Amino acid sequence: MDKKLPIAVFVSGRGTNLQSIIDAINAGKLDAEIKLVVSNRSKAYALKRCEKYGIPYKVIPSKKFSSPQEWGEALIEVVKESGAELIVLAGFMKIVPNNFIEAFENRIINIHPSLLPAFKGLEAQSQAFDYGVKITGCSVHLVIPELDSGPIIAQAAVPVLPNDTAETLAARILEHEHRIYPQVIQWFAENRIKIEGNKLIVLGAKYGTLPFNPQLEKF
Ligand code: GRF
C-alpha cells in the first residue's frame, strides 16, 4: 500500500504497545506512520523509545492547564499540526477531555486489558484475577466520553491458568495486546472500519473481528 496512515500515539508509561506498533511498521506489516507521540508525563519510558527511533514527541501534562477543556485544546492543536488521522491511546493514563473526543470523533482508539465491558478502569488484570474469572483478555475500542466504553473493534481471549498470579496473567494478556493493536490500526489504514451505531464492522473480514490467528494468512 502506498499511502501510509498518519497516526498519533498517546502514552504515559513504559510504552510496550508503542513498541509493538513501531515493530509492525518496521516489519512492513503496518501501513502507518507515527507522526507524533504525546505523553502527559516527561519521565515516561516510552519517550526513550521515541528518541531511539527518531519519532517526534511532545510532553503535555494536564496539570499545566487550568481545566480539562484547556488541556484538550492544547492536545487538539498538536494533533492537528501533526496531520495524524488516527489517535492511538497506548497506556495513556489520563481521561481524555471531552472536547478532544468531539474534535476527533470515531478517530480515537484505546486498548484495555480486559474483555470489555467487564473490568473497566484501572488494574483490569488484577480485577479479573481477583474476581476469579476463567477467561479474560484485551479489547480495542473506539473512545467515547464514557470511560472504557465505545464500540469494540477487536478482542483477544486469554485463559486464566491455575498457577497464574495477577502478574503472570497481565504479562500473557500484554502479548495479545501487542498482537491485536497493530492489526486494528492496519484495518484503519485499509479503510475497513465501518461504524453502525454501537456496532463496528470490519469490512471484508473473513472471520468477523477475531484477532489474528497465525494459522490463517489473513482475516
Ligand atoms: C496496557 O496494559 C494497556 O492495555 C493499558 O495500559 C497498559 C500500557 O502498557 N491501557 P504499555 O505502556 O503499552 O507497556
Contacts of 101-110 with C-beta under 8 Å, sequence gap 24+, read 101/143, 101/144, 101/145, 103/72, 103/76, 104/76, 104/79, 106/142, 106/195, 108/142, 108/143, 109/140, 109/141, 109/142, 109/143, 109/153, 109/184, 109/185, 109/188, 110/140, 110/141, 110/143, 110/148, 110/150
| Structural contact between residues 67 and 75, judged by C-beta atoms closer than 8 angstroms | no
Q: Atom of ligand 1 at shortest distance to CA of 111?
A: 4
The answer, yes or no, to whether any atom of ligand 1 lies below 6 A from the CB of 137, is no
Gap from CA of 88 to ligand 1 centroid (Å): 12
SS3 163: coil
Contact 104, 75 (CB under 8 A): no
> How much is the average pLDDT of 207-213?
61
pLDDT of residue 219: 44
Please state, in angstroms and rounded to a whole number, the distance separating the CA atoms of residues 129 and 65.
37
Helix (H) or strand (E) holding 182: helix 166-189
Catalytic positions, please? 112
What is the position in ligand 1's atom list of the atom closest to the CA of 170? 2
Ligand 1 contacts CB of residue 16 (under 6 A): yes
Q: Give the rounded percent of residues in the chain with a pLDDT score beyond 70.
A: 93
Q: Hey, what domains does the chain have and what are their CATH numbers? A: 5-210 (3.40.50.170)
CB-based contact 75:87 (threshold 8 Å): no
Q: Is the pLDDT of residue 208 over 80?
A: no
Nearest residue by C-alpha to atom 9 in ligand 1: 91
The answer on pLDDT for 213 being more than 80 is no
The string of pLDDT tens digits covering residues 146-201 is 999 999 999 999 999 999 999 999 999 999 999 999 999 999 999 999 998 888 99
C-alpha cell, 88: 492511538
